[in-house]
Structure 1
Amino acid sequence: MDIGVLLPTGKAQWGADGDPRDLVAFGIEAERSGFSSLFVNDSLISPRIEALTMLAALAPATERVTLGTGALLPFLRRPVQVAQSLASIDLLSGGRLAVAVGAGFPGRFGRPFYTLSEVPWAHRFARLDETVALWRALWAGATSFHGEILRYDDLPAATRPYRADGPPIWLGGATPAALDRTGRLYDGWLPYPPAPSDYASGLLSVRKAAADSGRLAEQITPALFVSVRVGESPRGSLDDYARANYGMPLAELEKIQAVVSGSAEQILDGLGRYVAAGARHLVIRLAALDLRSQHDQLERIAALIPDLQALDTTPL
């Protein structure tokens, strides 16, 4: 059972007086507090520290934690360039990188990014899968690549990652098509379904797709992205967080994303329902809007790590 934390790389999480240079120290504190992974998200929706830059800064400053993206949007960057960056981070971290990817979705978090990146919205899922296939081919030493969208006849020698087969690549998303693609093509699943029952049914679909493709369920990491706020009567703070980060009230956010809040006992119960549904790597986003509050929430959740790990009592 892995318990990870999403670093507050967005300006909305620093607070008016926050210093983003504290983020490396935040990551070190999380590692020392018992978290097993540090994740960063990727977006153009608000000012933030760029995801791969943040991971490169964390690589030499940490020793054992997994460094992950939740989720990286490959269409924002040139695909060969990203393969080089990811391999470099994997090397600098000694093989501790995990790359969750996504294609974006309609609305303010998706289509406008494609316009800014000068990449067509159409066939975005095929583009994502081909980009990942290209990375893997480059890391294996390929000198050419011919997909339906991406085609290269003369690829230069690429930087090889720390691990011979490269970092594991997970997929975010929970549509039927995403579940099928996760089972067939990816090394992990990082969704944020608002109900544990949705997680359980999605994981069954992922594993069926894997079995149909001749893969083992154990090859796919079942992860969960979840926003958490520890404390008594947290609804007001959570609503402020939802409006600042997503531009919507908490009641709307809870319809589309996993949110767990309340006392320590309520947090254990809420997250425990997802563990019972099959999640084995929790990526916790701290629902706080300044670095002081982020540190406080980090400490509160760190105190729960032994109890959270104890929830994983049966293999799936």
Structure 2
Amino acid sequence: MDTFAIGVLLPTGTAQWGPADDPRDLIALGRTAEHLGFTSLFVNDSLISPRVEALTMLAALAPTTERVTLGTGALLPFLRRPVLAAQSLASIDLLSGGRLTLAVGAGYPGRFGRPFYDLSDVPWARRFARLDETVDLWRALWRGADSFHGEFHHFPDLPPALRPTSPTGPPIWLGGATPAALARTGRHYDGWLPYPPDPADYTTGLRDIHAAATEAGRAPEAITPALFVTVRIDDDPPTARTALDDYARATYGMPLPELEKIQAVVAGTAEQVAARLRQYVTAGARHLVTRPAALNLRAQREQMERVAALIPGPPPRTRVRPRQWACAGNDT
């Protein structure tokens, strides 16, 4: 039996809110997710559409939740000044009792990334090297370094920084599945959070990460293999696909057939969705971050309840800690 964690992405973007929704209810939605037994709460970080800023959302969740990991999927460090970002992240980690996990990314070409660099006064060129160096700077600050010298950041006299719970800082995962991203994950990061449409691509990507880790003298098993997947469950499969198509158009401005070419998405009955998720677990994923495809907070909660009901275990009220869900590794 293989074990895996299952988390949920909170709908912090206005495209996922109904006209009568109160964004303050996101806090209650996070507590509901913890009560349902989800292992983690993730938030997105993007300027594609108006949304509650990621670190602000996590800071609000830190004192109102008790056990769930709080994560970003994925944080875009270039949007923030790096030293202040390290201070904010350490603060959230401390206020949550060491429950922070960061997935980071460098953005994508087109409207999904490059315009954000212009807004941030950061050059698009060498964005991946800048991302890696920013992570190095954060880790140096969290270790108590008094200076830092890199290609993009030069700080000969760093003031004392706030230290997070762990001496090494919170785990940092990389989002991305290009050959270069896979190699960088193996050499540099604590986990991997991609969204490949085909589980077979997850298997090959994870193999390349492990090879890069071994070459760099790192233990491959120390890298958390995660997955970001959009989910819609309905009793009627065509209804599920229609709802997921509505979500794709509202969130990305593209129809479902286009979105499912580039992202892991699954729609159907509970049994169909469970079978598809098991394929990714068989492919090697061990932390599934599920994004409910719903366009108001009430429907988001209903989808969260359906996803939580997929997993066998004791009733949520009896759970006193985040659960590790069991799944047959060869059950596809």
Q: CA contact under 8 A between 1:280 and 1:312: conserved in structure 2? A: no
**Matching residue of 1:180:** 183
Matched, 1:310 2:313: no
When structure 1 is superposed on structure 2, of 232-241 and 48-57 the one drifting more is: 232-241
Unaligned runs of 5+ in 2: 314-323
CA contact (8 A) 1:3 1:305 kept: no
Percent identity between the two aligned chains: 72
Task: Give, in whole Å, the separation in 2 of the partners of 1:299 and 1:104.
Answer: 31
Q: Structure 1 CA distance, aligned partners of 2:209 and 2:20?
A: 43
1:278 partner amino acid: G
Matched, 1:291 2:297: yes
1:60-97 per-residue CA deviation (whole Å, 9 max, x = no partner) reads 00111000000000000000010000000000000000
Number of residue pairs aligned between Structure 1 and Structure 2: 314
Post-superposition offset of 1:313: 4.8
Instruction: Give me the TM-score of the superposition, normalised by structure 2.
Output: 0.93
Deviation at 1:309, TM superposition (A): 2.2
Of 14, 33, 39, the residue aligned with 1:11 is 14
- State the alpha-carbon separation in 1 of the partners of residues 306 and 73 from structure 2: 22
Cα distance, 1:198 vs structure 2: 0.5
The amino acid of 2:39's aligned partner reads S
Aligned to 1:29: 32
Runs of 4+ off more than 4 Å: none
Q: Is the 8 A contact 1:4 1:281 kept in 2?
A: yes
| Offset, 1:216 | 0.7
Confirm or deny that 1:204 pairs with 2:207. Answer: yes
Alpha-carbon distance in 1 for matches of 2:227, 2:59: 23
1:143 aligns with 2:149: no
8 Å contact kept, 2:191–2:224: yes
Aligned to 2:247: 241
Q: Deviations over 1:161-212 (max 9, x none)?
A: 0111110000000000000000000000000000000100000000000000
Q: Does the CA contact (< 8 Å) of 2:183 and 2:208 recur in 1?
A: yes
Whether 2:284 is the aligned partner of 1:278: answer yes
Q: Deviations over 1:27-84 (max 9, x none)?
A: 0000000000000000111111000000000000011100000000000000001000
The partner residue of 1:116 within 115, 119, 125 is 119
Aligned-partner residue type, residue 287 of structure 2: H
- 1:265 is matched with which residue? 271
Tell me which moved more, 144-153 or 167-176: 144-153
Higher relative contact order (CA 8 A, sep 6+): 2
Deviation at 1:312, TM superposition (A): 5.2
Q: Does 1:254 align with 2:257?
A: no
Tell me how far apart the structure 1 counterparts of residues 173 and 326 of structure 2 sit (CA, whole Å). 25
Amino acid at match of 1:287: A
Report the 3-state secondary structure (helix = DSSP H, G, I; strand = E; otherwise coil) of the residue aligned with 2:7.
Answer: strand
Letter in 1 for 2:138: W
- The 3-state SS of whatever aligns with 2:73 is strand
Whether 2:59 is the aligned partner of 1:56: answer: yes
Matched, 1:76 2:79: yes
2:8 touches 2:41 (CA, 8 Å); kept in 1?
yes
- Provide the alpha-carbon RMSD of the alignment: 1.1
Cα distance in 2 between the residues matched to 1:89 and 1:310 = 30
* CA apart distance, 1:306: 2.5
Q: How many angstroms does 1:221 deviate by?
A: 0.1
AA at the equivalent of 1:310: A
Report the counterpart of residue 95 of structure 1 in structure 2. Answer: 98
Cα distance in 1 for residues equivalent to 2:47 and 2:272: 34
Partners of 1:309 and 1:263 lie apart in 2 by 20
Q: Is the 8 A contact 2:40 2:70 kept in 1?
A: yes
CA contact (8 A) 2:44 2:74 kept: yes
- How far 1:15 moved relative to its partner? 1.4
Rounded to whole Å, the distance in 1 between the matches of 2:291 and 2:297 is 13
